[in-house]
Amino acid sequence: MSLVRVGRGASAARLHVEREGSGEPLLWITGFAISSEIFSPVISTYAAGYDCIRYDNRGAGRSPAPWRVTSIPELAGDAVRLLDALGLASAHVYGLSMGGMVAQEMAIRFPDRVRALVLGGTTHGGPRAVLPSPRVAAALTSRSAPAAVRAELVGRALFSESFRLREPQLARTYLGLLAQHRTSARGLVSHLTASAYHDTRARLGRISAPTLVLHGGEDALTPVGNARQLARAIPDASLVVLPGAGHGYLLERPDEAHRAFDSWLGSRSPVPAGPPLSGLAATAEPVTRHLGLQVGMLRTARSLTAVRPRR
């Protein structure tokens, strides 16, 4: 499948979409400034039981970057408009890394479009998240470094040391997938801004979808403490940590990750979508989504004044 137009007017975007498999729809949301090509090594396993829909977020990979910066709420709106374009009332949603941020906003703002929710290697964001070291975080934006140096930095950020030593060729292959359909500088800045002002900490209790929080135990980019925070705050959440796996657990431990997903969702099925927002929440949603960055800045400031939760 090629580009699909979502939204209208100034908020419209064109998203590169691919679809594979049959069964209940499973929407895959990818991470920071990369294309959905990263799911290619594992998608066929999930497509054996689900209608898998994967796409590049606006401004990343094969989806053009609009003229203005985006926000996580706007990216969540894109995901819902994509379901509209495909004629789907709802879907299971699997968000990985920054895609997990988008998935959280989607579940909070559009509960009637989300069935089961999987949050992989992600965080609620904001100043109360468990942060990586600055060196690890800088690896993903090191565009000026020589290619070999950048590959080494990114590899350390995304994969556990044991995986890189055990499967060096496979790690290089996966890094090659990340390099495909490289995001423009404008898209990179847009995603960086959106991620910086994402903070769902105070709203996680609003997620009504049954949620699987799935994380690598040796995740250097998004430390595992973030998974514990999410699992404590989301009302109907299950936590699965894959010991020894890094941020790229989906690629490092594909069989274990699939078993965790399949057994959890199988034990919960059938999972209907939640009820739609109503009242003031429904009225305010389009406004707060339109002002996503500004509202995100306010929420980030509010988090700074809150008591730091236990990890």
pLDDT at 145: 57
* Residue 155 included in any domain: yes
* Residue 273 included in any domain: yes
* CA 309 – CA 233 distance, rounded (Å): 11
pTM: 0.93
- Residues 178/154, Cβ–Cβ less than 8 Å: yes
Beta strand 211-216 pairing with 3-6: unpaired
The whole-number average pLDDT for the span 213-231 is: 97
Cα distances (Å, whole numbers) of residue 82 to 40, 85, 188: 20, 5, 22
* Residue 311 included in any domain: no
Amino acid at 232: R
CATH number at residue 92: 3.40.50.1820
* CA 61 – CA 81 distance, rounded (Å): 19
Query: Which residue segment(s) compose the domain that 223 sits in?
Result: 3-305
The whole-number average pLDDT for the span 265-285 is: 96
- For 119-166, what is each residue's pLDDT tens digit? 999 999 999 999 887 767 666 655 555 556 566 778 888 999 999 999
* CA 4 – CA 127 distance, rounded (Å): 35
* Residue 310 included in any domain: no
Is 308 a residue whose pLDDT tops 60?
Answer: no
* Residue 69 included in any domain: yes
DSSP, residue by residue, 176-242: HHHHTTPPPHHHHHHHHHHHHT-B-GGGGGG--S-EEEEEETT-SSS-THHHHHHHHHSTTEEEEEE
The more confidently predicted of residues 147 and 83 is 83
Quote the mean pLDDT of the chain.
Answer: 91
- For 59-77, what is each residue's pLDDT tens digit? 999 999 878 889 999 999 9
Domains held by the chain: number = 1
Place of tokens 């389009």: 286
* Residue 252 included in any domain: yes
Instruction: Give the CA-trace dihedral at 105, 262, 131, 41, to 10 degrees.
Output: -100
pLDDT at 138: 66
